[in-house]
Every structure is written in structure tokens, then in C-alpha cells.
């Protein structure tokens, strides 16, 4: 996972575009037991990232991620803004100014996860995006440690993330608006977790397309 800035741009742009393209779908998922604003909030925030794309500071990959996180934090409403913004800020701080390789990507994701846990006062099993983000990171690390190249590792991680997101339908929501519904939240997937799954699939697709071109 090298060519740090160009690859970081590819990943961030894919995340942003996927959030905008799936506004309705993510909103529908969230409206089952949540307040239905997840798709709208995410799309508005990442729309701002795309609108200001050329002006984001590209001193290095870490700075680019931190600046993106600041745009997200200031533009996304509800709980999503602080959580997604924190994830980008923490990942950017961990990335720093050097080259980004596989172990660094895993460390960046772990930092994002810790930031989300603190900010959202949540953990794995609470039926949040962490229930997809942690399995994504674990599988990515496992694949890279096993000698897979970045493209193969991402494809495997995307598949594990989708599985983990679908498994959230068995959980009771313990955070956010969905938690008010108690056991009624069983039977529907968590919108944030499924959002992470869809985004990871698109990132994997874009990455492997880039490698194949």
C-alpha cells in the first residue's frame, strides 16, 4: 500500500462518492429503527468534501485526512459528524507525513476505531458502525500478515465487513435513537455498519481497478 497521497485520495474520493450515491439507501436502513437521517447527514458532509476537493491541503496523506476530517466534523449533523470526523482525524494523525504501507493502514484504522469508541461511548456489540469497522480491520491485518497484496487483502476485508454488517440484525441497539426501541431493533441491520460495508466494497473495487489499469 504505497504511493501514499494518490492512494489516499482514491480511497477518500471513493468513500465520499459512495456516501453521496447511497443517500437514499442509507436513509431507508436508518429509518427502520433510527431517526432516518444517517443517509442525509453523511451525504451532505461528503458532498462538501467533494465540492472543496481541489482546495484540501495535500502536504502529505496525513494532512489530507485531517483536513477532510475537519470538513466532515463541521458539515455533518447529528451524531455522524463527530464520529466520522474523529475517525478521519485520528487516521490522519497516525498516518503522519511518511509513506503509508499495510501495517500503517491497520494502525490508522485502529486509531480511528479508538476515536469512535471514545467519542460515541460505544463498543463492539452495541449495534453501531464499530460492528463492521473492527472486523474489517481484523481481516485486513490477518490478510496482510499472511502475505496477501493490498488488493487481495481489501477484497477479503470487504467480504468480511459485509458479513459482519449483516450479522448486526441479531443485535439489540444500545446507542443512538435506535436504542430507544430496545428489542424491536432486532431483525434489522445497523445502518452505520452496513454503510461501512458498502463503502469498503466500493473502495476495494476502486483499488483493484486502479491496479488493473
Q: How many CA atoms lie within 13 A of 211 on its CB side?
A: 14
Provide the grid cell at 166.
449483516
Local confidence band at 100 (pLDDT 50, 70, 90 cut-offs): very high
Phi-psi region for residue 7, left (φ > 0), alpha (ψ -120 to 50) or beta? Answer: alpha
pLDDT digits (tens, 9 = 90+) for 139-157: 999 999 999 999 999 999 9
The residue-averaged pLDDT of 23-43 equals: 85
80 pLDDT above the threshold of 50: yes
User: Whole-angstrom Cα distance, residue 56 to residue 133?
Assistant: 25
The residue-averaged pLDDT of 70-86 equals: 84
Rounded alpha-carbon distances, angstroms, from residue 209 to 6, 10, 137, 151, 204: 14, 11, 21, 9, 8
Answer with the residue of higher pLDDT: 95 or 213.
95
User: Whole-angstrom Cα distance, residue 126 to residue 131?
Assistant: 8
The residue-averaged pLDDT of 85-93 equals: 96
User: Whole-angstrom Cα distance, residue 6 to residue 205?
Assistant: 16
Which architecture, in CATH terms, is 4-212? Answer: Alpha Horseshoe (1.25)
Mean pLDDT of the chain: 90
pLDDT of residue 77: 66
116 pLDDT above the threshold of 80: yes
The residue-averaged pLDDT of 44-72 equals: 96
Computed from CA positions of residues 52, 55, 56, 58, in that sequence, does the dihedral angle turn out positive or negative? positive
**pTM here?**
0.92
Are 206 and 14 in contact, with CB atoms under 8 Å apart? Answer: yes
In 3-state terms, what secondary structure has residue 154? helix
The residue-averaged pLDDT of 51-61 equals: 96
pLDDT of residue 65: 97
Provide the grid cell at 142.
490477518
166 pLDDT above the threshold of 70: yes
The residue-averaged pLDDT of 1-25 equals: 91
Amino acid at each position: 500500500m504505497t504511493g501514499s497521497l494518490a492512494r489516499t485520495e482514491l480511497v477518500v474520493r471513493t468513500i465520499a462518492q459512495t456516501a453521496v450515491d447511497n443517500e437514499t439507501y442509507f436513509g431507508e436502513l436508518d429509518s427502520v429503527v433510527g431517526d432516518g437521517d444517517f443517509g442525509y447527514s453523511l451525504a451532505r458532509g461528503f458532498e462538501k468534501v467533494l465540492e472543496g476537493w481541489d482546495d484540501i491541503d495535500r502536504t502529505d496523506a496525513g494532512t489530507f485526512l485531517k483536513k477532510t476530517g475537519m470538513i466532515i466534523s463541521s458539515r455533518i449533523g447529528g451524531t455522524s459528524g463527530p464520529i466520522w470526523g474523529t475517525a478521519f482525524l485520528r487516521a490522519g494523525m497516525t498516518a503522519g507525513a511518511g509513506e503509508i504501507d499495510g501495517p500503517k493502514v491497520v494502525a490508522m484504522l485502529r486509531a480511528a476505531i479508538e476515536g469512535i469508541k471514545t467519542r460515541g461511548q460505544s463498543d463492539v456489540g452495541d449495534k453501531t458502525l464499530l460492528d463492521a469497522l473492527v472486523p474489517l480491520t481484523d481481516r485486513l491485518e490477518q490478510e496482510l500478515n499472511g502475505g496477501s497484496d493490498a488488493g487481495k487483502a481489501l477484497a477479503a476485508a470487504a467480504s468480511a465487513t459485509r458479513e459482519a454488517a449483516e450479522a448486526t440484525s441479531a443485535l439489540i441497539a444500545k446507542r443512538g435513537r435506535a436504542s430507544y426501541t430496545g428489542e424491536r431493533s432486532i431483525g434489522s441491520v445497523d445502518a452505520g455498519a452496513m454503510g461501512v460495508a458498502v463503502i469498503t466494497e466500493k473502495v476495494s473495487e476502486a483499488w483493484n481497478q486502479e491496479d488493473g489499469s
